[in-house]
Structure formats: structure tokens, C-alpha cells
Amino acid sequence: MKADSDKLIATDRRHIWHPYSAFASDLPIYAVESAQGVRIKLVDGRELIDGMSSWWCAIHGYNHPEMNAALSAQLARMSHVMFGGLTHEPAVKLANQLVEITPEVLQSVFFADSGSVSVEVAMKMAIQYWNAKRQASKQKFLTIRYGYHGDTFGAMSVTDPVNGMHSLFSEALAQQYFADTPGCGFGAACSETDIAPLQQLLEAHRNSIAAVILEPIVQGAGGMRFYSAEYLRRVSELCTEHDVLLIVDEIATGFGRTGKLFACEHADIAPDIMCIGKALTGGYMTLAATLTTGEVSQTISNGDPGVFMHGPTFMANPLACTAANASIDLLLESPWQQNIANIETGLRRGLQPCSDLNSVKDVRVLGAIGVVELHDPVDMKTIQPMFVDAGVWIRPFGRLVYLMPPFIINDAELGILTEAVYQVLSSY
């Protein structure tokens, strides 16, 4: 009820940090009682249709009976054991499944506890690989502008320098190479002008670059931009040509969101290293993984010091692996391509009217991702309560109002989300 909600929020404001927020800020915050299917129930009694999948994660919606049953069964066996010197069925099953569903060259799996950590692991793998090949000078990374790879220091160093506030951390961050982001949108051809910035940096610095790292096709938190599959294909060719590894960060795009199981399939490329996270456990708990080729893992293991230098305490947590196994089974057993195609159609139809609004710069849709880009940043203090009053959970950032609903959403619920975006942006 309202009083319970106010009490929770008051204590929250006294003691808790939220993502990218000021302490004790006066921005609105809402207390959640429970969540079921595509609905989030607030402590104050209101119910919201979820347009965010809790940041790309909750692809099957919330409180899924099959996910719950799998987790209860695992909980009765064990919730955790250390992974040094021990292994278990949930991890083995998951590794097998991941090797099966990702590009064929990817044969080994490192379990990490969050997306950011899986990026750190990927970067360390690339450095150790070249070190083992007696090319120890290859320790830098090349990426494109508007990228986002996480909040730890290695991941921050390859995140967009402006969005990531590199100036603030200049003495602490590794200096990497940034190429202009390609101008060619998804479905468009890629010209020499689009690829030239990255190509020039590769040619000039190939002896110091361990890997190119980028988000395939969709750049998420750095700007919600979609780029050409041909660009990704060219990047992959250039990496091979210049003896540089390719790391694709599929943490946001993986598990069907863009219409393919993994976004790199749009370009039909095989990376040397792939990071996955977010929807991996269907939004139940934190787990990520870094996959690599037999060539990279063998080279690292045959080199000096003969081991890969990383090992988190909660590595391959059995509960998290069980959630991932259940989530992947659910996804693969569902008509996910059809579901995502339906969502794509509904997003296009429902968000199209927004292009007529003066405040709107661009409307774009790919798979189960719908983006309305505005000319100016939104005022969260005003806009957030408007969405909640409209009965939806939509969380804009900067100039971007976007939807990425759970894959189980139906047409009527999706219509409520898109209509809320149009109505709020019209009256805002």
C-alpha cells in the first residue's frame, strides 16, 4: 500500500545507491512488490507493463513456472560450490549448450559473474594470447565510438570516451584507440568512407593492438544505434588481415533480441572471442560468459605462465548455471523467431506515429528493440511519473526513449507500451 511504499522509499533514499544516480537524489523511484509475466506490481498497488525486460534480461517475463521449478530443484541439491578443482552438471550442461548454439569456432567457455567482468576476461585473454605468441607489445584495443562495454576499468577504457566520462578517470584508464562509428545503418551498404577510420587505425597500430572489440550490429547503452552487417563483415576481414583478434560483445544482443540468436549471425562472421550475459539467465540472476576458440585457449595454455590469469569466487555458480540452462531451453523450445518478428511488426506500427512529433529526431526498430530518439534529453523527473501513470515501465536515458519488451508479450500489451510512448511524448 501507499504507506509501505513511502516507508521503503524513504529508507532507500537514506542509504542506497542506484545505477548512475546521485546519492539521495530527488528523482522518482518506485518500490516493487512482485512481478509476473510482463507485469511489475508496485508496493503501492499499481501494476505496470514492462517495456524494458529489466535491461535486456527478462526475455521470458517474470516468475516463470519452469524457471522457478528448475531453480528450486537445484537449490535442494546445492546453491554453490567453489569451481577451483570441482565441477558440476549445471556448468557442464551450460558450457555444452553455449558451444552448441554460438558460432562453431567458439569451443571454450569461461564463466564470469557479470557482463563487465566477462569483458575484462575477454581483454585479458587477447593480451595473454599475443603474449604467448611472443608479441607482448600487442596490449591495446581498438573500438568504435558510441560503444558500451561495462563499468569496470578495462571495460570503461573501451566504452565511448564522452559517454564514459574518460576525462574524469584519465590517469586511471588505459588509453585505447577509437574509430568513428559507421554511418551505414542496418540494411544499408557499407562504403569505404564508413570503414576507413577503423582501417587506418588498424594499419597504423597493428603491432600494439591485441583485439578489436565492439557490439555487433546494435550499440546499446552508448546510443541505441543499429549499423550495417556489411560493416561488421569488413571489420572481421580486416582483423584477420592485420593479425588482430575480434571480440564481439553480445551481452545485450545475445539470445534473440535482434532477430538472430546472436547478432553476429546477421553478418555471418565468427569472432575469436564472444562475451554474453544479460538474457543468459532469463533475468533471474547475474551470470556472464566469455567464449573463445580452441586456438586462443590452447595458445594461452601453452604459453607463459601456462594458465589463464582469472578466477572469480562465484565462478559458474550452480544456481545461475541452472537458470541459464532453463532459460536457453525455454527460448529454443519457443517459436522465438516468430515472436520477435511479431514484436518487430508491432513496434514499427506502434512507434511510427512518433516520427510526426516535433521533439522526435528518429524512430528505428530492429528485432525486439524499438527506439525513439529525441532532439533533446528528457527530464526524468517529469517523464518517469508520466509513464508510470500510463501503466507502463519505460526508462528513457538521455535523448532515447526505447522499448525492448519480454519476448512473451502479446499484441495488446505491446500496443499499450507503444501508445504510452506516443501519448507521453505528445503531451510531455
Ligand X SMILES: *Cc1c(COP(=O)(O)O)cnc(C)c1O
Minimum CB separation of residue 255 from ligand X in Å reads 12
Q: Which of 277, 318, 396, 406 binds ligand X (CB under 6 A)?
A: 277
Indicate the residue type of 363.
V
Q: 3-class SS at 47? A: strand
Nearest to 140, CA basis, from 211, 236, 245, 214 = 211
Name the residue with the smallest CB distance to ligand X: 115
Per CB under 6 A, 148 contacts ligand X? yes
Minimum CB separation of residue 89 from ligand X in Å reads 25
HSE, side-chain direction, 13 A CA sphere, residue 221: 23
Cβ nearer to ligand X, comparing 132 with 211: 211
Of 177, 272, 278, 422, which one is the catalytic site residue? 278
C-alpha pair distances (Å), 123 with each of 82, 152, 174, 308: 24, 12, 12, 12
Give yes or no: 129 in active site: no
Q: Which span sits near ligand X by CB under 6 A: 23-31, 144-152, 265-273, 304-312? A: 144-152
Sequence-distant (6+) residues with CB within 8 A of 10 are none
Q: Are 263 and 288 in contact (CB under 8 A)?
A: no
Cβ nearer to ligand X, comparing 251 with 421: 251
Q: 3-class SS at 34? A: strand
- Give dist(CA 350, CA 185) in Å, integer: 21
For residue 305, cis peptide bond before it (omega within 30 degrees of 0): yes
Per CB under 6 A, 248 contacts ligand X? no
Q: Are 213 and 249 in contact (CB under 8 A)?
A: yes
Cβ nearer to ligand X, comparing 254 with 318: 254
C-alpha pair distances (Å), 134 with each of 131, 139, 293, 332: 5, 12, 19, 42
Cβ nearer to ligand X, comparing 109 with 424: 109
Q: Which span sits near ligand X by CB under 6 A: 23-31, 60-68, 146-154, 395-403? A: 146-154
Q: Which of 50, 120, 215, 344 binds ligand X (CB under 6 A)?
A: 215
Q: Which three cell numbers stand for residue 296?
A: 586462443
Site string for ligand X, 6-45 (x = CB under 6 A): ----------------------------------------
Q: Which span sits near ligand X by CB under 6 A: 87-95, 148-156, 227-235, 332-340? A: 148-156
Per CB under 6 A, 149 contacts ligand X? yes
Per CB under 6 A, 221 contacts ligand X? yes
Q: Which of 52, 119, 184, 209 binds ligand X (CB under 6 A)?
A: 119
Q: Which three cell numbers stand for residue 86?
A: 570441482
Per CB under 6 A, 300 contacts ligand X? no
Cβ nearer to ligand X, comparing 328 with 420: 328
Indicate the residue type of 216.
P
Long-range (24+ apart) CB contacts under 8 A made by 5-8 are 5/30, 5/31, 5/42, 5/43, 5/44, 8/43
CB atoms within 10 A of CB 275: 31
Q: What is the torsional sign of CA 385, 387, 391, 392? A: negative
Q: Which span sits near ligand X by CB under 6 A: 30-38, 115-123, 382-390, 402-410? A: 115-123
Q: Are 284 and 71 in contact (CB under 8 A)?
A: yes
Per CB under 6 A, 252 contacts ligand X? yes
Cβ nearer to ligand X, comparing 150 with 346: 150
Q: Which span sits near ligand X by CB under 6 A: 142-150, 203-211, 261-269, 302-310? A: 142-150
Q: Are 394 and 406 in contact (CB under 8 A)?
A: no
Cβ nearer to ligand X, comparing 179 with 280: 280
Give yes or no: 278 in active site: yes
Per CB under 6 A, 116 contacts ligand X? yes
Under rule CB under 6 A, how many of the chain's residues touch ligand X? 15
Q: Which of 164, 220, 370, 406 binds ligand X (CB under 6 A)?
A: 220
Q: Which three cell numbers stand for residue 227?
A: 549499423
Q: Which of 160, 230, 249, 413 binds ligand X (CB under 6 A)?
A: 249
Give yes or no: 20 in active site: yes
Give yes or no: 428 in active site: no
Per CB under 6 A, 114 contacts ligand X? yes
Give the chain's length.
428
Of 62, 146, 148, 402, which one is the catalytic site residue? 148
Cβ nearer to ligand X, comparing 229 with 248: 248
What is the DSSP track for 166-214?
GGGGTTTSPP-EEEPPP-PBTTS---HHHHHHHHHHHHHHTTTEEEEEE
Residue ranges binding ligand X (CB under 6 A): 114-116, 119, 148-150, 215, 220-221, 249, 251-252, 277-278
Known catalytic residues are: 20, 148, 249, 278
